Amino acid sequence: MSPATPQYDALTDRFTRIHRFAHLQHMAHWDQQANMPPSGNEARSAALAEMAALLHRLRTDPELGGGLEAAGHESLSDQQRANLREMRRQWEANTALPEALVERRSLATSRCEHAWRTQRPANDWVGFLPNLKEVLAVTRETAQRLADRTGLTPYDALMDQYEPGMTTAKVRQVFGEVRSWLPGLIRRVTEKQAREMVLQPHGPFAIEAQRGLCERVMQLLQFDFSAGRLDVSAHPFSGGVPEDVRLTTRFREDDFLQSLMGTMHETGHGRYEQRLPRQWLGQPVAEARSMALHESQSLSFEMQLGGHPGVARLLSPMLVEAFGDQAAFMPGNLHRLLTRVKPGFIRVDADEVTYPAHVMLRFDIERALVEGEVEAEDIPALWDAAMMELLGIDTRGNFKDGPMQDVHWPEGLFGYFPCYSLGAMYAAQWFAAMRREMPDLDTRLDEGELSPVFDWLDQKIWSQGSRWTTDELALHASGETLNPAHFKAHLESRYL
């Protein structure tokens, strides 16, 4: 018996093959960050560029275009039709880019990211700049190609790859609103917190103890260690594949909160990946919906849960076990530590109140860079001005804690930053929906019961993969599309 949907089935075979090659790419990329010794980089970059080119060829094979057309006429289930929609979306993005450009981009970003690892601690902006300029050049060319195909502006075309449907206009509207109340909120919160008494933990905190703590917390957050690991890299990230999730963190002996919160963040990403619909893995419909949705998971873990008094109660005995008894580890004090608001240099260390400021300044700069309104040389001045305006911080000459702090630009991930703050807004929206559905949620969290949160996220977000568009998913999950009012309400309720 021949299958009823031969064209569609042939497409799924192709995508399964792509998934398998991408597996090797993701693992080599993770290894490059987590394990690779420095002299291995040239060969690795060449190998990754070769793989990027192969994947690009597979994803842009003209036969695939014909198959997408033909499969549309077959009798498909809703799930299959959603898969076909996602296949088409990827096809459109991929066919916009010639192979030589994809290869050049892979090489430029590998080189820039690798050099950045030593240039950043050395505060070496001058050494970093030529590599970044090359990354920016291929990024602009990429953006232009995508813009030509989609009719979007170059920056919107990049953003569309991470957050389908999101536009500069929409981001500006949402961020504009946040800008109107954020500086005032930061002021009120910091004034209020200045009157609170908070005990600081005493270090040093042994790296091995921190590692053990992070793994215990990942277990608490129900990360599946039979299908994933925690390792160390210069810039923490969630990598690997859904079947084998590789989270990374970094440790400092004088501060365990950074790695602890970072690990909670990455665990949110990791659980989303681990719980994507397994029976569809390898197909576009099984992939995470979007990057803002992904960040909504990491921030649900790091911020929504991490800042909850019930979670502080769970963490408290774990800290005592890891580092010995300290008054600072008492639940109430720990909760105050985990919800401290303080303008600072580093985005990944920022609290959830000042975080949007970091994102807004990056959005403004990278949009202007991509649209050709400014050049890479202009970044420090723009950075310094925005940091002073938004957070009152002087960053002049401090490149390593300024525009060199993030891996995104070295890796060519322009258009990604807005997803962090959109994700924070979605996370607030999810918890508002949970509280409507489960009025006793905070009581249960206070009693140390986290499963209601995980079950809700699993059912509404993780298990849905890319079955729906972002707007549809948000509507199904919470009864409305993105509504930043929940974020404001969350911050005011938690911090004022």
Q: Which residues are catalytic, by number?
A: 266
By CB under 8 A, tell whether 224 contacts its own copies: yes
Cβ proximity to its own copies: between 229 and 252 the closer is 229
Shortest distance (Å) from residue 270 CB to its own copies: 12
Cβ proximity to its own copies: between 54 and 257 the closer is 54
Shortest distance (Å) from residue 263 CB to its own copies: 17
| Interactions with its own copies, residue window 386-425 (CB under 8 A) | none
Cβ proximity to its own copies: between 54 and 328 the closer is 54
Cβ proximity to its own copies: between 28 and 382 the closer is 28
3-state secondary structure the chain: CCCCCHHHHHHHHHHHHHHHHHHHHHHHHHHHHHCCCHHHHHHHHHHHHHHHHHHHHHHHCHHHHHHHHHHCCCCCCHHHHHHHHHHHHHHHHHHCCCHHHHHHHHHHHHHHHHHHHHHCCCCCHHHHHHHHHHHHHHHHHHHHHHHHHHCCCHHHHHHHHHCCCCCHHHHHHHHHHHHHHHHHHHHHHHHHHHCCCCCCCCCCCCHHHHHHHHHHHHHHCCCCHHHEEEEECCCCCEEEECCEEEEEECCECCECHHHHHHHHHHHHHHHHHHCCCHHHCCCHHHCCCCHHHHHHHHHHHHHHHCCCHHHHHHHHHHHHHHHCCCHHHCHHHHHHHHCCCCCCCCHHHCCCCCHHHHHHHHHHHHHHHHCCCCCHHHHHHHHHHHHHHHHCCCCCCCCCCCCCCCCCCCCCCCCCCHHHHHHHHHHHHHHHHHHHHCCCHHHHHHCCCCHHHHHHHHHHCHHHCCCCCHHHHHHHHHCCCCCCHHHHHHHHHHHC
Stretch that binds its own copies, among 3-11, 220-228, 351-359, 478-486 (CB under 8 A): 220-228
Here's the x/- map for its own copies, 22-61, by CB under 8 A: it reads as -xxx-xx--x---xxxxxx-xxx-xxxxxx--x-------
Q: Which of 241, 315, 359, 419 binds its own copies (CB under 8 A)?
A: 241
Cβ proximity to its own copies: between 67 and 239 the closer is 239
Shortest distance (Å) from residue 488 CB to its own copies: 40
Shortest distance (Å) from residue 173 CB to its own copies: 41
Q: Which of 6, 173, 219, 225 binds its own copies (CB under 8 A)?
A: 225
Stretch that binds its own copies, among 124-132, 238-246, 392-400, 477-485 (CB under 8 A): 238-246
Stretch that binds its own copies, among 227-235, 291-299, 376-384, 433-441 (CB under 8 A): 227-235
Shortest distance (Å) from residue 103 CB to its own copies: 11
Here's the x/- map for its own copies, 3-22, by CB under 8 A: it reads as --------------x--xx-
Shortest distance (Å) from residue 46 CB to its own copies: 5
| Interactions with its own copies, residue window 273-292 (CB under 8 A) | 281
Question: Interface with its own copies by CB under 8 A: which residues?
Answer: 17, 20-21, 23-25, 27-28, 31, 35-40, 42-44, 46-51, 54, 224-229, 241, 243-244, 281
